[in-house]
Structure 1
């Protein structure tokens, strides 16, 4: 009988963890640090587009299937949105880049201002409409 209770407890805990991860996947989070701009790792600083209001840096790894889905959402979004630039950065052989950006999973998309300031980030596959809505104030500020 004890084994049955252990099995039920494991199933409940696993289901709760899965539901929590699913709820957090693709959710847009505003940047936590509103302080001074921190120095970006070299590969990230190199891909910043100073001509765009926002650069979406997608942190990916080689064998990440959700990363391909994120790219399928972000690339067309950037193509049809003025002031938005998308770059995919593979950190498979550069784990120090992910570590310095506090990236714990891939894909993670970080929206950066031209000065390197983090505006927001999304862990998992972003929802295009939700991301665009969160970016709208940053895109309009640049054009005014």
Structure 2
């Protein structure tokens, strides 16, 4: 094989792998629709859910970005009327991770007032992603619940 062909194959391989990596990163960073099953009562009890929305963060003890995401979500919950933040440590709960198909932490589920997931964000998404998803849910809510800017 000539050196030129080998270099062209190598460049093509690097380009394909880079494109796949960028596509995967973009897909993971944005919100996804969540399955419409209600979250089990033993995972997020009704008495800790918000009246309008609940931000459920699934974390582990070894997650480096989980504390920062928790601070962001706590601030959003404190500023949003009827919004609650619940953190679930799945370090010793592989059953919860399997049931909800959680493969990465932090994973955040946005629940409506009935405990049904409406959005799922995986990884340390920017604050604007959480605000956008929460605003979208609150704007669709029949009650006049608002989220301060």
Among 4, 7, 11, the residue aligned to 2:7: 4
SS at match of 1:70: helix
| Consecutive unaligned residues in structure 2, runs of 5 or more | none
Partner of 2:138: 136
SS at match of 1:65: coil
CA RMSD of aligned residues (A): 2.7
Partner of 2:75: 76
Structure 1 runs (4+) greater than 4 angstroms displaced: none
Distance of 1:3 and 1:48 partners within structure 2: 63
Task: Go from structure 1 to structure 2 and tell me whether the alpha carbon gap of 1:67 and 1:24 turns closer, same or farther (over 3 Å shift).
Answer: farther
| Consecutive unaligned residues in structure 1, runs of 5 or more | none
Partner of 2:25: 22
Question: Which of the pair has more CA radius of gyration?
Answer: 2
Task: Go from structure 1 to structure 2 and tell me whether the alpha carbon gap of 1:113 and 1:13 turns closer, same or farther (over 3 Å shift).
Answer: same
Task: Go from structure 1 to structure 2 and tell me whether the alpha carbon gap of 1:48 and 1:91 turns closer, same or farther (over 3 Å shift).
Answer: farther
Pairs aligned (count):
139
Please report the TM-score for the alignment, with normalisation by the length of structure 2: 0.74
- 8 Å CA contact 1:47, 1:87 repeated in 2: no
Please report the TM-score for the alignment, with normalisation by the length of structure 1: 0.76
